Amino acid sequence: MLGRSHVTLAGATYLSLLVHPLPTPWGALAAPLLRPAAGDGPLGPDELALALSVATVMLAALAPDVDHGGSAVARSLGILSRAVASVAERVLHHRGPLHSALAAVVAGVLSELLGPQLGVAGLGLLVGYGWATHVLADAVTACGVPLLWPLWRRRLRLPYGLAPPTGGRVEALTVLGTVLACVWWGALQVTA
Ligand SMILES: [Zn+2]
């Protein structure tokens, strides 16, 4: 799946959950927001917190593809990010451990620990959310992902005949359909 598809899916699902939390048997699934680590903190107005939260989710949705030298995140910081991606691809392989539920949890925990250094709380949930949307979206492809690595190394994937080719028209329509569903879900709350 293309980087722009991952960014769009993460942003759209995040905003729809922000407007209209999803009821589950375990309570409402609501979108997390960045907040000051202590007191008023450096975040300032709600609009800034919202913008930074959306940006964090979208960037995190690109991050798992650091295991692929040709990805958007590998090209993001020039030679530095290319070097990191090259090592990650050689050691971990594309769509390897970084495309698992464990990687999303680890990225979230590390970000949560980093958050107070940046003066914010809630960073871990946002990074974990964006990372998880990437992994789940890549599961709906022919290559799939090792979702439960290292416990279960089989890949979660669609059969070859059903999976849309990367960057093709079906992928674009799938993303568009998801965005429309998110708009519909958010509108339900606004019009309620
Ligand atoms: Zn990926």
Render pLDDT for 108-164 as a digit per residue (tens, 0 to 9): 999 999 999 998 999 999 999 999 999 999 998 888 999 999 999 899 888 777 777
- Residues near 187 by Cβ (< 8 Å), separated by ≥ 6? none
DSSP at 116: G
Element (H, E) at 170: helix 169-190
Give me ligand 1 centre to Cα 46, in Å.
31
Mark the residues whose beta carbon lies below 5 A from ion ligand 1: 65, 138
Q: Sign of the CA dihedral 155, 161, 162, 168?
A: positive
User: What's the average model confidence in pLDDT over 154-175?
Assistant: 84
Judge contact between 61 and 134, C-beta under 8 A: yes
pTM listed for this prediction: 0.91
Give me ligand 1 centre to Cα 190, in Å.
33
